Chains A and B, each alone.
Chain A
Amino acid sequence: MNRVAIPLAVFGALLALPLIGLSSYTMHILVLVLMWTTIGMAWNLLGGYCGQVSFGHAAYFGVGAYTAGILYFKLQISAWWGIPLSVAVVSVFAFLLGYIVLKLRGPFFALATLASGEVLRITTENMGEFTNGTLGILIQQRTWIEKTWYYYIILAIAALTFVVIRKLVASKWGYYFVAIREDQDAAESLGIDTTRYKTIALVISAILTGICGAFYTNYMGYIDPHIVFALHDISIITIMIVMVGGVATEWGALIGAGIMVLLAEWIRAIPGLGASHQAFFGILLIAIIIFLPNGIVGDLPKITRLFRRARA
C-alpha cells in the first residue's frame, strides 16, 4: 500500500507546489533539484543497483545537451525536439562507450568512464564547425519566461524516471543487476550474461541522463563544453547526490539533490560567510559521509534510533 501511496503523495505535493505562488528564484532552484534528482536516479540504476560506479555521467548529459543544442544551432529546429532525439543519440553513444568501458571492472571501469567524459568534452571543443567549439551554443529566445512549464516538464521526466527504475529494479533484470553487483563471477556462473545486462543498465541510465541534458539546454539557453561535460560540476556532483542521499535507494536521489542544490544554495547565500561557504559545505558533506555511510535514506533507521534515544 505504502509503495504506491508515498510516491503518489510526493508527486501530488510537487504537482501542487507551483500553485502556491513561489518566486521565480525558488522555482529555478526547484527545477535544478528535480533535474539533479533525475540524474541521480539514473546514475543509481547503474552505480547503485548494478554496482558499476561511473565517473563519467557528464558524457551522457553533454551528448543529450548537445543533441538539443545542435538541432537549434545547425538546423534551426526547436531545441525541444532534442529531448526525444537525445534518446536515440545517447543510446548509440552509450552503447559504443559501454562496449569499450564495460570490459573493465572496478577502478578501471571508473577511470575509463571518467576518461570518456573528458574525451567527449575535448572532442566537442575541437569540432568547431559542428558544435561551435568553446564559444558554445546560445539560444536567443527561450520558450517561456515563466518557470511553471519548465517545472512541470522536468517533474514529468523525474516521475517517469522514478517509475521506469522502480519497474526495472522489481523485474527479473533488476535481480540480474543486483547479482552482478554482489558478485560478477558468481552471476556469470549462474548463467547471467553479465556484459549484456551491464550494457542494458548503462544504456538506460545514459538515456535518462541525456534527456536531462537536452532539458538543460532548453532551460538554460546556453551550453558550452566546459559546462555540460564538466567533470566536477556534473559527474562528481551526480555521485555525491547519490552517496549523500543513499545508494540503491528509491528516495536517495531526491534527498541528495535537495541537499546538494538547496542546502548548497542556502549556505552560499548566508551573508558574511563569503568565500568560505564552500569549505563549510564540504565539511558538512564529510560529516554526512562519515556518520551516515549509507546515505541519509540508507541510514534512516540509524537516524530514527538516534532521535528516539535523544527523546528518551
Chain B
Amino acid sequence: MRCPTLVLRAAFAVSICGASLLQGADPLNLSIPLPLTGGQAKFGEMMKRSYEMATDEINAKGGVKGRKVILAFEDSQAKADSARAIVEKLIDVKKQPIIIGEYTSACAKAVAAVANERKTPYLIVASADDAITQQNYKYVFRQNVPNAYYAQGLVSFFKDVVKPQSIAILFESSDFGTSGAADMEKHAQRMGMKVVLKEKYEKGAVDFKPILSKVKQAAPDVIFMVSYVMDASLLMKQLKELRVDAKLFAGGAAGFALPEFVDNAKDAAEYVVTATLWTPQVKYKGAKEYADKYKAKFGDFPSYHGASAYSAMYVVQDVLTRAKSLSQEDITAAMKKTDLQTAYGHIKFEDRDGYQNQCFSETFVLQVQKGEHQTVWPATYANQKYLFPIPKWRDRK
C-alpha cells in the first residue's frame, strides 16, 4: 500500500523534468497564455496567429538585441486557475521576465494578481474589465482601452448621426458584458436617452426569443448588445426571424467585431454597427500591411484582438531593447516609459481617471456592408460612408 506516495513522487519527477527541458540559453523564449480550447478559442487563435506574425517579422530583422525570439503558447482554457498555473510556471520555473497575453477578464485578473505579487511586468492585450487597471498594480500594463471607453466612438456616432430617444441594452452574464452594459447605461443617461430595457442573458444560450419579444414590445430606437461571438450572430439571426425593427442595431465590440460574426449571421448581420478598438482601415503606420498580410494568410481581416496582439510583440521588442537589463524591475521601468507608434496606434501607459498604467486610444465604429466590416466612424477614419437610416427587415430583399 505504498502506492499513493510513489505515484505522486513519480508524477512529480516527470513534471519537473518536463518543465526544465525548455530553458534555452541564447534565444529569447517567450510563452504566452491564451484560450486555445473552449468558448473563447476563436479569439485565442486570432491572437496566436498575430503574435506569430509579429515575431517572424521581428526575427527577420534581427530579433531583440540580436537574440531570436522563440514563441510558445499554453492553453489556459479560459479558466482562472489554469491561467494562474501557467503564469506561476513562467515566472518561477522558466524565469520569464515579462508576461504577455490572456484574453478573458477573469483570467487576466488572476494573472495580474500573480504578476504584481511576483513583481513581474504583465502586458494585457485585450481584456476589458475596468477594475484590472484600477487596483494600484505597479506591474500591470494594459494596451487596450478599458471597457468604459469601448463605446466612446459609438456614442459619438449616436449623438451626431442616429440621435436616438431610447435604447435597449442586452448583455451576456460575464464581467465583460456586465461592465459594458453599465457603462452604456451611463452614456445613455448623459445623452438623455431613455433606457427602456436592460436585460442579461446566459452566455451560450440557444434561444433568445423570450428576451427579444420583450425588446420588440419596448420598441427602442437602438438595440445595443454586448456579447462574444456565437451569441452575437444568434442574436442577430433571431432579431431577423422575429422581425424586430429598430433604427439601429449596435454591438459592443468583442463578438460583433470578429469576421466570424458576419460569416455566422450572414445577411442578418447587414447594417449592424459595432464599437471596435481598431479597424483594418485605421491610418496607423503598419496597420494596413498587417491586415492585408493576415487576410492573405488566413482569409479574413483580423479584429482589434489580433492587431493588439501583433503590436504587443513590437512593444515587447521595444521595451526589452530599451531596458537596461532583463531584470523585472528594469523592464517595468522601460515599460512605463513606452512611447511607441504601432499598427494598433500610439502606445503609452498613463495614470489617469483612476487607472494606472493604462493606454488610452481612440475607438471606432464598424458597419457591416455587403458582408464586410467597414469603418464608418469617426468620419476622418471612415473608408465607407455609414448607411443610415437602415431598411426595415421586411423591406430587405
A and B from one complex = yes
Q: Which residues of A contact B200 (CB under 8 A)?
A: 125-126, 134
Known contacts A28-B85, A133-B178, A138-B131: A266-B75 contact under CB 8 Å: no
Looking at the complex, which of A38-46, A72-80, A89-97, A274-282 is the stretch in contact with chain B?
A274-282
Asked if A25 contacts B88 (CB within 8 A), the reply is yes
User: Would you mind naming 27 contact pairs between A and B with Cβ atoms under 8 Å apart?
Assistant: A9-B5, A10-B5, A23-B88, A24-B118, A25-B92, A29-B15, A134-B174, A135-B179, A136-B109, A142-B117, A220-B84, A222-B106, A222-B109, A222-B110, A222-B113, A224-B106, A251-B4, A258-B8, A262-B12, A263-B11, A265-B85, A266-B14, A268-B75, A274-B75, A275-B41, A275-B75, A277-B75
- Determine if B82 is an interface residue (Cβ-Cβ < 8 Å): yes
Q: Mark A8-33, 1 if CB is under 8 A from B, else 0.
A: 01100100000000011110110010
Instruction: Say whether chain A's binding surface is mostly helix, strand, loop, or mixed.
Output: helix
Which parts of A134-173 form the interface with B (CB within 8 Å)? 134-136, 138, 140, 142, 145
Closest to B108 in A: A222
- Determine if A102 is an interface residue (Cβ-Cβ < 8 Å): no
> In the complex, A25 Cα to B91 Cα: how many Å?
8
CB distance from B131 to the nearest CB of A (A): 6
- Determine if A270 is an interface residue (Cβ-Cβ < 8 Å): yes
CB distance from A124 to the nearest CB of B (A): 10
Q: How many residues of B contact A (CB 8 A)?
A: 52
Closest to B131 in A: A138
Q: Mark A218-231, 1 if CB is under 8 A from B, else 0.
A: 00111011110000
> In the complex, A134 Cα to B178 Cα: how many Å?
7
Asked if B7 contacts A255 (CB within 8 A), the reply is yes
Instruction: Say whether chain B's binding surface is mostly helix, strand, loop, or mixed.
Output: helix
- Determine if B80 is an interface residue (Cβ-Cβ < 8 Å): yes
Q: Which residues of B contact A278 (CB under 8 A)?
A: 37, 77
- Determine if A189 is an interface residue (Cβ-Cβ < 8 Å): no
User: Which among A13, A225, A265, A270 is the interface contact of B5 at CB below 8 angstroms?
Assistant: A13
Asked if B80 contacts A227 (CB within 8 A), the reply is yes
A25-B89, A266-B11, A269-B89 known, 9 other contacts, Cβ within 8 Å: A24-B88, A28-B88, A122-B202, A126-B200, A134-B173, A142-B117, A220-B110, A255-B4, A277-B37
User: Which among A9, A25, A134 is the interface contact of B93 at CB below 8 angstroms?
Assistant: A25
> In the complex, A286 Cα to B356 Cα: how many Å?
48
- Determine if B242 is an interface residue (Cβ-Cβ < 8 Å): no
Known contacts A26-B12, A32-B81, A275-B36: A268-B110 contact under CB 8 Å: no
> In the complex, A270 Cα to B73 Cα: how many Å?
11
